Structure formats: structure tokens, C-alpha cells
Structure 1
Amino acid sequence: MAETEKVTVNMNVVDLGKVDLLVEQGFYPNRTDFIKTSIRNQLTSHSSVIENVITVKSYEIGIYYYDRKTLEQVLEQNKLLDIKVVGMLVLKDDVDVELARKTIKSIKVLGVFRASHELKIALKK
């Protein structure tokens, strides 16, 4: 199952009224469905741009998890990770600041980055 994030959208009252009108007329079951459909349509219309940037900048797409074991393997190989994700990156709770600093060169996440507050602060530096 795909993970979702809650997003708040501010709209002017006239646009909101038009959305409600479409819901009332049965085009959409609710406001949320209208907004999700609108977002998907825009992403589809810009898909070639998105795909090009993902390819050129070498982003990974999806949900990626890194735990202590994985990062220890990276450390043993004497490598540094350049992590670029479109979607979600999760650094598990068993990853400490020292291990992350030794194994992660850079992080760029377009979407959601989940990690402990301490780890996020340390990696920002």
C-alpha cells in the first residue's frame, strides 16, 4: 500500500464554491477526489518534464528505507551515499547520527523525509 501525506490547500472562496458545485452535480464524490484528480492531471500533463529531470539528475522514485544494518554495510565498503529520492526517504530509528554522518554524503528528497528530529538536524549541517 502506498503511503500518503496530508496536504492543506488554501483556495479562494469562489474557486471552492465551483468545486462544491461540481461535487453537488455528481462529477466528483467529494472535494478531496476533485483535488486528487486535478493534481494527477497536472502531473500527467508535465510528465515529460518530470521524467527528464529524474533521469538527468539521477533520482530514485519510490519509498526508500535505510536502517543500521544497511548503513553499516556501506561503511564496510568504505562508500558514501548520495541519496536522491522522489517520493519518500525513511532513516529508521536504529540509525544514529554518527553512522549517518560516516555513510551519507548528501540527501535530496522531493516528497517526504522521515527520520528522528536529531538525525534531521545533524544531516542538515
Structure 2
Amino acid sequence: MSYDLVTVEWEGIDKLAAALKRGSQVKLDAVLAKNLTEMHNRAKNGGTPVDSGELRQSAGMTRPDTADGTGEMGYTKEYGPHVEFGHRTKDGGWVPGQHFLKKNLETQMPVFKADLEETVRKLCD
């Protein structure tokens, strides 16, 4: 069996592809920014354990980088990982982690997934 190949030349396809990519990147960056903001707000408003309040106050985020679609939400206090994952005490005991950042992420994941699905659906319409 042989197939005849059809060649189609479309002038300007590179420009169209670039425009579509820019448009979809902007929408995906907006989804990421929305979800990072929701995680940040949750951390600032009850989602972070409080002793002195310093850890909660240190919650921060970066806006998505449009070049690579990344953004971050986390804490700047140096003891944040110890509260998250647990730590040893001076006498050799163990304080278990509170996993507040993990819980925040687990709460956000279904929202992020739904937002992505909605955005992709709209891009395809």
C-alpha cells in the first residue's frame, strides 16, 4: 500500500503559532498566579501554625515568570522547614512536622487542576 503525501505551505504560520503560544502562556500564567495567591492568602490567614507569628508573617510568593511559567510560594524564616518536616530537640527528642505547606498544597491541587482544565477548554473553543 502506498500513500500520496500532500504538502501544504502556509505563509505566516510561525507568526500565528507564536501569537497562540503567547496568548495561552498569558492565560496559564494567570492560572498559576491565581493559585499561588490563594495559597499565600491561606498561609497568611490561618494556614500556618502560630507561636510568635513570625513564620506566618514570612509567607511570601513570587509572581509567575512568563519565560518559564514558574512561581513560588513559601516562607523566609529559617526555621520554616523544621516546623514543616519536624526536628530533633537538644535532648535528642523529636518534634513531628506539622506539614502545613503540604496541606496547603493538597487543598489547592484540585482547584489548580480545575482552573487548568477550564483554561484549556476555553483555549480550544
Q: Tell me the TM-score normalised to structure 1 length.
A: 0.27
Bigger fraction of residues in helix? 2
- Structure number with bigger Rg: 2
Higher relative contact order (CA 8 A, sep 6+): 2
- More strand, by proportion: 1
